[in-house]
Amino acid sequence: MSLTAMERAVNFSRGYLSKVENDRVPPNEALARRCDDALGAGGELVRLVGARPRRTRAASATVNVPVDIPSAPAQFVGREAELDQVERISTSSGPPGLVPIVVVHGMAGIGKTALVLHAAHRMRVRFPDGALFVDFGSYGWSRKGLTAAEALDHLLRRLGVAVEAMPSSLNERAARYRNLLSGRRVLVVLDNVRRADQVTGLIPATAGCCVLITSRGPLRALDDGAPVYLRPLPGADAARLFAAIAGDPGRSTARAEIADIVAACGGLPLALRIAAAQCRSAAEGTLSALAVSLRDRRRGDALNDGERSVQAVFHAAVSELPSARRALLLLLSISPATSVTLESAAWLAGADRSAVSGQLAGLQDDGLVLTDGGRVFLHDLVRALAEHLAGQDVSKSDRVEALRRLVTGYMHTVHAADSVLTPHRFRPALTLPALPVAPVAFADAGTALDWCAAELANVVALCRLAWTLGWDSECWHIAYAMRGYFFLTKSMDAWTTTHRLALGAAQRSGHAWAEAVTRNNLGLSLMGQGKVAAAEAEYRRALIIFKGMDDRYGIAVTLGHQAWSRYVAGRYRAAVTLGRQALTEYYDQPRGQAITMRTIALAEAKLQRYATAVADLEQALGVFEALGLSMDAAMTWNCLGEVYRNQSLTHESLRAHARALTVSRACGSRYEQARARVGLAAAATATGRHRATARLLATAADLYAELGAEAEASALTKEVGLMAAHDSVSG
């Protein structure tokens, strides 16, 4: 309950209530009685007031009230959510005697101490009996930090214990410390802690106290500690922090250099502070030189103001790592993947999952990796240092073998995902190289879809790596296996990039089938981008190769693709002719036949042969549903809805698009969801439900925008705007 709400409930002023809350004045019986009534405490608060010991002025004057909290940095930007989290934990209620313990953790230079100091000063009013601060100094060149006994010695002195009265053993010091804090409300801040055993004896036993801890790791052994994880500052906050320290250079020509400098710091407050200090009064030439130096792979060297050094902080942390943990960090730095999971780290290291899991946890405790949702990232500044060390300490052959294991792991896994996402896709017998660590297994299409979405950037990067290193088979295998996901999600940029690389790899290795199938799949991507002529060129080359190989299935697929391109170009009779040619080439491939029949049906509808079109679509739909191909079924339901709409059969169109929406949601196709909503919007318009039309079109526009289909999104957004304007004028 807020003080304002309490003021209304008990008819005491907020000022007085604040003094009672912060123990500046004792609560009286009248206040307790009103609180009992307002809160339904049944007389318990009146009883507590009667049992409260009265402190005399003389007694309170003898109590030592130390306030050791250093001043917080004046330039502090963002972190509102984390500050609120710290305060929320510190005020949370729990079992009797429980002391709230907050562990603010994150990598070196991430701003843990700054956050805790700001939180401590904001919370200070709630702790009238003192605020204690200890810097354990646990990080640096071979520094292990204060022991618990040393920290207690410091704290007991601040609490008034004379040197000659200092207990000698750790247990006696801890007991004396707890006794001195008993019944008092004290805030305890423990900075730069490395291990839980440094602080377990420093936790007060009085519930009115609170402990704030900073550490690079989450201190898992501190059972009652509530972790607050700090990540790098977002771009806007990073720019604000830099500007707050550097000031405004007042030189428009330096804007680009300053933006580059801020970006190179990667949201790390320490790096931003050092760079801003260098830029505060620097000449433009100095700014340009700093911006250039930060583009270098060893950018950490430039982040040094003579007293603080990003490179030194990270180098000290790496130098203290156990050998296995250090080896894994260096291997992570040479990977082009932007993030790793436990599986991909195991592929890279060539080690079992349990061992790698412990090493990753250790790297997190050392503040050398970032984590988010089970994924591990390297900050660019850490990566730069680790990559430099890997060049010195990891042999070229070991680096190549690690990367080959990683690429092979991804190749196995994308094939496993594809087999779940497109189970009836025609696949030739493919021999994949052995993998010492098991690939990811997928229980269903949903998990495969989630994996592909999370790993998309990494898949593209590893496809490019395979091309660069001349691993042609791995390159085109990865692209080939991702085609089903690309088609489902319409990830056009990744689709085109990987398939252009795969095409080059197939040509370089002389693998004719891989070249032809890659050209077909690349053509599909180009068609999705409206590049019909470029797609046609790929299909023509693919058809020549398949005919030379006498590959009837390849010929049939390519003819089907050509039929679709003719349809898109408005050449409907040619589309029907090519589609029927494709059907004669298919042999015992119901999925391919059904896809081609769908194309023929759409062309027939354009020629106003509606009965034939509907019959073909219903036959294709039966094949897709029998095979469990939800994506193809969703597409076909949408096609039926559009054919019905062209005949002004509103009810039938509505039913088909509604079914398409249900099926496309189940299979995860946002494109078909958007298409279904457009169809439903047309049906709503036909029945006069204009508000429903606007709502459906707006949702479809959002889905298209998420997919990068800007033309579709823009057209729908414009249509919604016109509808709103019309309603405004007519209303």
Domain end residue (candidates: 289, 308, 327): 308
Spatial separation of the C-alpha atoms in residues 466 and 71, rounded to whole Å: 52
Q: What's the whole-number mean pLDDT along residues 448-454?
A: 93
Q: Let me know whether 133 and 192 are in one domain.
A: yes
Q: What's the whole-number mean pLDDT along residues 129-152?
A: 81
User: What mean pLDDT is reported for the chain?
Assistant: 87
Q: What's the whole-number mean pLDDT along residues 59-70?
A: 64
Asked if pLDDT for residue 87 goes beyond 80, the answer is yes
Q: Let me know whether 333 and 375 are in one domain.
A: yes
Asked if pLDDT for residue 278 goes beyond 90, the answer is no
Say what percent of the chain tops pLDDT 90: 52
What's residue 59's pLDDT? 38
Higher-confidence residue of 472 and 290: namely 472
Spatial separation of the C-alpha atoms in residues 676 and 58, rounded to whole Å: 79
Asked if pLDDT for residue 282 goes beyond 70, the answer is no
User: What are the tens digits of pLDDT across the range 622-679?
Assistant: 999 999 889 899 999 999 999 999 999 999 999 999 999 999 999 888 899 999 999 9
**Residue 443 within a domain:** no
Spatial separation of the C-alpha atoms in residues 615 and 269, rounded to whole Å: 65
What's residue 729's pLDDT? 42
Say what percent of the chain tops pLDDT 70: 92
What's residue 423's pLDDT? 83
What's residue 284's pLDDT? 54
Q: Let me know whether 189 and 130 are in one domain.
A: yes
Asked if pLDDT for residue 443 goes beyond 60, the answer is yes
Q: Let me know whether 50 and 10 are in one domain.
A: yes
Domain end residue (candidates: 379, 394, 409): 394
> Residue 406 in contact with residue 347, Cβ under 8 Å?
yes
**Residue 252 within a domain:** yes
User: What are the tens digits of pLDDT across the range 567-619?
Assistant: 999 999 999 999 999 999 887 788 889 999 999 999 999 999 999 999 999 99
Higher-confidence residue of 678 and 258: namely 678
**Residue 422 within a domain:** no
What's residue 142's pLDDT? 46
Min mean pLDDT across 458-467, 562-571, 583-592, 696-705 is at 583-592
Q: What's the whole-number mean pLDDT along residues 85-100?
A: 81
**Residue 691 within a domain:** yes
Asked if pLDDT for residue 300 goes beyond 80, the answer is no
**Residue 72 within a domain:** no
> Residue 281 in contact with residue 251, Cβ under 8 Å?
no
Higher-confidence residue of 434 and 367: namely 367
What's residue 409's pLDDT? 93
**Residue 533 within a domain:** no
What's residue 58's pLDDT? 38
Please report, for the domain that includes residue 384, its CATH number.
1.10.10.10
Please report, for the domain that includes residue 102, its CATH number.
3.40.50.300
Q: Let me know whether 361 and 252 are in one domain.
A: no
**Residue 175 within a domain:** yes
Confidence of residue 294 (pLDDT cuts 50, 70, 90): confident
Confidence of residue 362 (pLDDT cuts 50, 70, 90): very high
> Residue 528 in contact with residue 712, Cβ under 8 Å?
no
Spatial separation of the C-alpha atoms in residues 553 and 542, rounded to whole Å: 12
Asked if pLDDT for residue 439 goes beyond 80, the answer is no
Min mean pLDDT across 189-198, 341-350, 550-559, 706-715 is at 706-715
Angle at which helix 512-528 crosses helix 532-549, to 10 degrees, equals 160
Spatial separation of the C-alpha atoms in residues 669 and 223, rounded to whole Å: 43
Burial of 731 (0-12, 13-18, 19+ CB in 10 A): exposed
3-class secondary structure per residue, 153-202: HHHHHHCCCCHHHCCCCHHHHHHHHHHHHCCCCCEEEEECCCCHHHCHHH
Per the structure, how many domains does the chain have? 5
Residue 221 is inside which H or E element, if any? none
Q: Let me know whether 254 and 200 are in one domain.
A: no
Q: Let me know whether 209 and 85 are in one domain.
A: yes
User: What are the tens digits of pLDDT across the range 319-338?
Assistant: 889 999 999 999 999 999 99
Q: Let me know whether 719 and 681 are in one domain.
A: yes
- Expressed as residue numbers, the domain containing 692 is 653-730
Asked if pLDDT for residue 230 goes beyond 90, the answer is yes
Instruction: Spell out a b/e string for 688-721, using b for 16 or more CB atoms within 10 Å of the CB, else e.
Output: eeeeebbbbbbbbbbbbbebebeebbeebbebbe
Q: Let me know whether 205 and 119 are in one domain.
A: yes
Q: Would you say the pTM of this structure is higher than 0.85?
A: no
Q: Let me know whether 121 and 213 are in one domain.
A: yes
Spatial separation of the C-alpha atoms in residues 674 and 656, rounded to whole Å: 14
Spatial separation of the C-alpha atoms in residues 252 and 440, rounded to whole Å: 51
Domain end residue (candidates: 189, 209, 229): 229
DSSP-derived pairing of the beta strands 339-340 and 375-377: antiparallel
Spatial separation of the C-alpha atoms in residues 403 and 474, rounded to whole Å: 12
Q: Let me know whether 294 and 360 are in one domain.
A: no
What's residue 60's pLDDT? 36
**Residue 112 within a domain:** yes
Higher-confidence residue of 116 and 722: namely 116
Q: Let me know whether 110 and 128 are in one domain.
A: yes
Spatial separation of the C-alpha atoms in residues 155 and 165, rounded to whole Å: 13
Read off the amino acid at residue 301: D
Asked if pLDDT for residue 298 goes beyond 80, the answer is no
Asked if pLDDT for residue 348 goes beyond 90, the answer is yes
